[in-house]
């Protein structure tokens, strides 16, 4: 499912084009890591943010152009500007919250935002709509099931990229059914790199 979500978010929601700059947060997660790799396959500049130095190293291995640890940068605004001084055409949103408010300021005019998740704000506040209005941004939430009719063809493409070595996937495995609650909480707190899986 992360691969399907990534493809549909990139192609059908964002309409990402060769040469554009994409920002993805929670970039070392199951969806974010695939989003970045597919954007690179399509010839885009990819900037990712993650919550640990180990995750930053992993994203560099995957070929992201610029990566930073949002927990250790002095200023998120400066980190975003340094990674892409000209701004961002597209933003693949997985996190939400105050950091995403800062991202909106860095978007290019007519930028596009795919909202896949908002893990930090499931109980919080709305987006700053004035920035969206003045920059004339397009934001669209989505679920991969909208494109269920395309799953067979999309899965073939994803598997071909894996076989060609263009797409890598990592699992964060927790052993034991009894550890499922801890694994779930760890995923919500960003402790996983790649897809969180519980082996029983």
66-69 vs 45-50, strand pairing mode:
parallel
Same domain? For 116 and 199 the reply is no
Query: Rounded mean pLDDT of 18-45?
Result: 96
Reported as a pLDDT band with limits 50, 70 and 90, residue 184 is confident
Q: For the chain, what is the mean pLDDT?
A: 88
Same domain? For 78 and 176 the reply is no
Q: Is residue 192 part of a domain?
A: yes
CB 45 within 8 A of CB 64: no
Residue 17 sits at the vertex; the CA angle it makes with 57 and 24, to the nearest 5 degrees, is 30
Residue whose C-alpha is closest to residue 34's, from 2, 67, 66 = 2
Query: Is 80 exceeded by the pLDDT of residue 174?
Result: yes
Q: Is residue 47 part of a domain?
A: yes
Tokens of 55: 């995750």
Same domain? For 116 and 45 the reply is yes
pLDDT on residue 128: 56
pLDDT on residue 118: 60
Same domain? For 175 and 76 the reply is no
Reported as a pLDDT band with limits 50, 70 and 90, residue 140 is confident
**What SS3 class is residue 172?**
strand
pTM, 2 dp? 0.79
Q: Is residue 97 part of a domain?
A: yes
Residue of higher predicted confidence among 64 and 122: 64
Residue 109 belongs to domain spanning: 2-147
Same domain? For 36 and 85 the reply is yes
Q: Is residue 159 part of a domain?
A: no
Domain tally for the chain? Answer: 2
Distances (CA, A) of 31 to 1, 5, 7, 177: 8, 7, 10, 24
Q: Is residue 153 part of a domain?
A: no
Query: Is 80 exceeded by the pLDDT of residue 137?
Result: no
Q: Which of 52-56, 87-91, 152-156, 194-198 has the lowest mean pLDDT?
A: 194-198
Query: Is 80 exceeded by the pLDDT of residue 185?
Result: yes
Q: Is residue 8 part of a domain?
A: yes
Distances (CA, A) of 160 to 96, 167, 194: 32, 9, 20
pLDDT per residue as tens digits for the range 75-129: 999 999 999 999 999 999 987 777 888 999 999 999 999 987 665 555 555 555 5
Same domain? For 63 and 139 the reply is yes
Tokens of 133: 């209005």
Same domain? For 120 and 39 the reply is yes
Q: Is residue 155 part of a domain?
A: no
Backbone φ and ψ of 49, nearest 5°: -120, 145
Same domain? For 38 and 130 the reply is yes
Same domain? For 68 and 110 the reply is yes
Tokens of 147: 């494109």
Residue whose C-alpha is closest to residue 144's, from 115, 112, 167, 170 = 115
């Amino acid at each position: 499912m992360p691969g399907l979500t990534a493809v549909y978010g990139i192609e059908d929601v964002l309409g990402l084009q060769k040469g554009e700059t994409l920002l993805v947060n929670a970039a070392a997660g199951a969806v974010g890591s695939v989003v970045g790799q597919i954007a690179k396959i399509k010839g885009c500049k990819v900037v990712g943010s993650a919550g640990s130095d180990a995750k930053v190293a992993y994203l560099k291995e995957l070929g992201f152009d610029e990566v930073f640890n949002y927990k250790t940068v002095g200023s998120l605004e400066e980190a975003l500007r340094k990674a892409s001084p000209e701004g961002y055409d597209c933003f693949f949103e997985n996190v939400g919250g105050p950091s995403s408010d800062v991202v909106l300021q860095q978007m290019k005019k007519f930028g596009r935002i795919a909202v896949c998740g908002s893990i930090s704000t499931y109980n919080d506040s709305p987006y700053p709509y004035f920035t969206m209005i003045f920059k004339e941004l397009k934001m669209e939430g989505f679920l991969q099931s909208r494109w269920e009719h395309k799953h067979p063809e999309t899965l073939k493409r994803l598997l071909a990229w894996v076989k060609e070595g263009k797409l890598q996937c990592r699992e964060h495995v927790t052993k034991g059914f009894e550890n499922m609650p801890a694994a779930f909480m760890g995923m919500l707190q960003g402790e996983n790199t790649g897809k969180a899986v519980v082996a029983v």
